[in-house]
Structure 1
Amino acid sequence: MKTILKSLVIAIFFVGLVSTSYAQKAATAPASAEILQDLTIVLDGTLNAINFGRVSSTTPGTIVLDANSAASNVNTGTVTNVAQFDLGGANGGVTVFYDPTVTLTSGGGLTIVMTPEVIGDAVETNRATAIPVASGSTVTLADNAFFIWVGGSIPALTAQGVGTYSGTFNISAEYN
């Protein structure tokens, strides 16, 4: 009898454990991904360099290469160029990132720090009215395109060492 009673108590215990397992709850979440065409950023074939021109080693004021219009350049040489980047991909938001400064270095190791001026517009012919694009900000592609122009400034030169100074401006973009 004791064995039957023990077996009955053990069976009731296990039945109680099984019934407590029904206290569990479950939930689900939907999962999705939107696959877009490749995002591209390409340096334009014509406006393919940031060039302040030929300037004096003692230029007294800031040298400004205006990204909107060469007519607004200050203290630059006569032959200048802004860089244009052609951004392509699916219509919608894209975040743009770029260097806050660019160090230009001469062959002799001397340096000048350039501060970029970056502007953009979804229409290539709107360069003169393009608006500033801050690094980390979102631009909107329309007709699968957005155009970015880069000029900048370098500080006044006081007995700056002569030579050709060069550096690299880095820019990238990613879908939001």
Structure 2
Amino acid sequence: MKTILKSLMMAAFFAGLGSTAYAQKTATAPASATILADLTIELDGTQNEIAFGNLSASTTGPVILDANGLANSNTGTSTNVARFDLGGADGSEVTVSFDEEVLLEGTNNASNTMTMTSQVVGTALAAEQSAAGIVEIGDTVSLVLNQGGTRGEYFLWVGGSFPALAGQNVDIYAGTFNINVEYN
């Protein structure tokens, strides 16, 4: 009888353990999204290419196309920097990413190559290219209300450089510079 009682007590004890209810806990997190004006980036109609001009195959010093338009070195006489116009929500911060280097290939012989190192400068006013500050890959810029008061703007100019061209194969070299912007 003692053994049966002991067995019943043990069974009741273990049955009670199996049916013990644990307190359930829950948590929540808020969810949100901010919808901003479309972010745009457009190549300017006039400053629409990165052009170093006509260069000598025996240029002994570095070739520099200054993005600020102030200090070109060893370039041809007819040069151009590219300008990209950003637009979006006024006061918004935008992260800028771009190709640090651009491979230029010969159009007559694709095995002829040169590597351009990019230089990017930017400012909130289109008329201030010469005073624009350096923009590094991954930098954040702020869109500033345009003169018409309808959206935020920011302007980026792109130049670049090559090392000395001594011994460079004669060819017409071309490549593509890529730039990306996104809201923070």
Q: Distance in 2 between matches of 1:26 and 1:160?
A: 69
Is the aligned partner of 1:155 residue 2:163? Answer: yes
Q: Tell me the residue number matched to 1:81.
A: 80
1:26 maps to what in 2? 26
Aligned residue pairs, count: 166
Q: Which residue of 2 aligns with 1:173?
A: 181
Shift of 1:152: 0.5
- 2:119 is aligned, of 117, 120, 125, to 117
SS at match of 2:105: strand
Name the residue aligned to 2:148: none
Secondary structure of the 1:47 match is coil
TM superposition shift of 1:83:
0.1
Q: Give the C-alpha shift of residue 121 in structure 1.
A: 0.5
Q: Which residue type is aligned with residue 33 of structure 2? A: A
1:60-117 deviation line (CA, Å, top 9, x unaligned): 0000000002x41000000000000001111311001101100111121200100010
Output the CA distance in 1 between the equivalents of 2:156 and 2:175. Answer: 19
**Normalization by structure 1: what TM-score?**
0.87
Alignment of 1:55 onto 2:55: yes
Deviation at 1:140, TM superposition (A): 0.8
CA distance in 2, matches of 1:163, 1:31: 57
**Partners in 2 of 1:83 and 1:152 — Cα distance?**
10
2:101 counterpart letter in structure 1 = T
Q: Which whole-Å CA distance do the structure 1 matches of 2:133 and 2:172 have between them?
A: 31
SS at match of 1:49: coil
CA RMSD of aligned residues (A): 2.0
Gaps of 5+ in 1: 1-5
After TM superposition, give the deviation of residue 17 of structure 1 in Å: 3.5
Structure 2: how far apart are the matches of 1:28 and 1:167?
Answer: 51
Identify the structure with the greater helix proportion.
Answer: 1
**TM-score with structure 2 setting the length:** 0.84
Provide runs of 4+ in structure 1 moved above 2 Å: none
**Take 1:97 and 1:159, find their aligned partners in 2: how far apart are those partners?**
33
Deviation at 1:126, TM superposition (A): 1.2
Q: CA separation in 1, counterparts of 2:59 and 2:118?
A: 19
Quick one: distance in 1 between partners of 2:73 and 2:161? Answer: 9
Larger relative strand fraction: 1
Identity %: 52
Deviation at 1:131, TM superposition (A): 0.5
Q: Name the aligned partner's letter for residue 49 of structure 1.
A: E
Trace 1:97-112 onto structure 2 (pairs within 5 A). Answer: 97-106=97-106, 107-109=108-110, 110-112=112-114
